[in-house]
Amino acid sequence: MSTVELHDIRKSYGTVEVIKSVSLSIEKGEFISLLGPSGCGKTTLLRMIAGLETVSKGEITIGGRDATRLPPEKRNIAMVFQSYALLPHLSVLGNVLFPLEMRRIGTPASRREKAEAVLEMVGLAHLGTRYPRQLSGGQQQRVALARAVVCDPEVLLLDEPLSNLDAAMRERMQEELIELHRKTGLTTVFVTHDQEEALSMSDRVVLLNGGRIEQMATPSELYARPATSFAASFIGATNLVEGRAHAGVVELDGGARLRLPDGALNGGVSLSLRQEDLILSPPDIATGISGKVINRIYLGARMRYVVATSSGEIRVLADCDTGFDIGDRVCITIAPEKIVVLQGAALTG
């Protein structure tokens, strides 16, 4: 059963349409990410689900109830803000009690019990009497989460909650968020511009671009089978090349030939070659793209080579001991099943 249903949602400011017909159905208990570059409308969409932004056209149902025109306090939702928005004049416990008091859930004693249990769950039971300004970023984040889940909302909305944390803390909070989601089973909508966050945490990723859904898929599907060149270039690091397919082989615009996984393709195609799927070899291999190394960048675990080829610059992520130097001639190959044929382009060709 779906918990949140968006039907043909649109949002305009004056004549500018920032959300252009988005329909989305979120299942109960699902962890869904709204992913996209800044300005793609992901935060606007989240705020519309929260009721903080009016809907220009379309319908929103939450828990089977029409919520399109309901004010935020009448929707059974909870939201974690990018800035956490902890109430500075209330203690940690006071902050967690706040939604219970506002929604008049239970008796004062049962509220306290519940708030303390949730604080225990996020590991802050000992900090209940502290004030938000006395906490570290990670601790504030946990208070914000505790405060959001304490009411058992129909849907939990997270607006880039990890973006204010340093790298190490962010990684830990990612794991804690996944754990929290497993423990509570709450339907969760997570807004982020970070593709790694979206891929690692979600059951399903909604990739947004220019106020439209570009692709909606599971993380592995989105990574392996991006539907458009935007999806391919936004998820992971890739090279986009064009060519003509015939009898299981594609001839790239520069003349190089690659074997395709699918012999049925014919005509113009657009391909995505992931940097980590490409293999660098000495220049005497038959079916590959030949070129010259023009730059190499040490990345710690990997080395990124920039190779000038007849099909333009191609970037390759290789092991550090690959051992080519700037100026060396190389041949780039790829296993046919790793080649991603972008559907949009193949159909138009």
Partner 1 sequence: MVDAIPRWLRLATAAALVLIVAYLLVPLLVVVGVSFTAADYISFPPQGLSLRWYAKVLSSGDFTDAAMTSLVLAVAITVAASALGAGAAIVLHRRVLPGSAAIGGLFLAPLILPSIILALGLLMLWSRSFGATSLLTVFIGHLVLALPYVIRTTLAVLSTSDPFLAEAARTMGAGPWKTLWRVTLPQCLPGVAAGAFFAFNISFDEAVVSLFLRSPEITTLPIRIYTTLEYSPDPSIAAVSSLMIFLTVLLILLIDRAVGLQKVTE
Counting contacts by CB under 8 A, is residue 147 touching partner 1? yes
What is the length of the chain? 349
Distance CA 72, CA 251 (A): 56
What residues pair up with 208 in beta bridges, in sequence order? 213
Of the candidate residues 34, 78, 149, 332, the single one contacting partner 1 (CB under 8 A): 78
Region of 50-58, 179-187, 303-311, 339-347 interacting with partner 1 (CB under 8 A): 50-58
3-state helix/strand/coil string of 77-101: EEEECCCCCCCCCCCHHHHHHHHHH
Q: How many residues bind partner 1 (CB under 8 A)?
A: 24
Q: Which residue do the tokens 């970023």 mark? A: 137
8-state DSSP, 71: -
For residue 297, give the DSSP letter: E
Strand, helix or coil at 303?
strand
User: Least Å distance between CB 80 and partner 1?
Assistant: 9
Strand-pairing partners, residue 204, are 32
Site string for partner 1, 79-118 (x = CB under 8 A): x-xxx-xxxxx--------xx--xx---------------
Q: How far apart (Å, rounded) are the C-alpha atoms in residues 116 and 121?
A: 9
- Within 10 Å of residue 140's Cβ, how many Cβ atoms? 22
Residue 191 has φ and ψ, to the nearest 5°, of -95, 130
What is the closest distance, in whole angstroms, from the C-beta atom of residue 31 to partner 1 in the complex? 19
Beta carbon nearer to partner 1, 71 or 300: 71
70 binds partner 1 (CB under 8 A): no
Q: Any contact of residue 72 with partner 1 (CB under 8 A)?
A: yes
Give 85 or 346: the residue with its C-beta nearer to partner 1. 85
With binding defined as CB under 8 A, does residue 336 bind partner 1?
no
Distances (CA, A) of 98 to 93, 108, 129, 341: 9, 11, 14, 52
By the 8 A CB rule, do 271 and 242 touch? Answer: yes
Minimum Å distance from CB 183 to partner 1? Answer: 21
145 is a contact residue toward partner 1 (CB under 8 A): no
Evaluate whether 116 touches 71 at the Cβ level (below 8 Å): no
| Site track for partner 1 across 153-192, x = CB under 8 A | ----x-----------------------------------
Residue 135 makes contact with partner 1 by CB under 8 A: no
**Least distance between partner 1 and beta carbon 157 (Å):** 8
The residues of the shown chain that bind partner 1, judged by CB under 8 A, are 50-52, 71-73, 77-79, 81-83, 85-89, 98-99, 102-103, 147, 151, 157
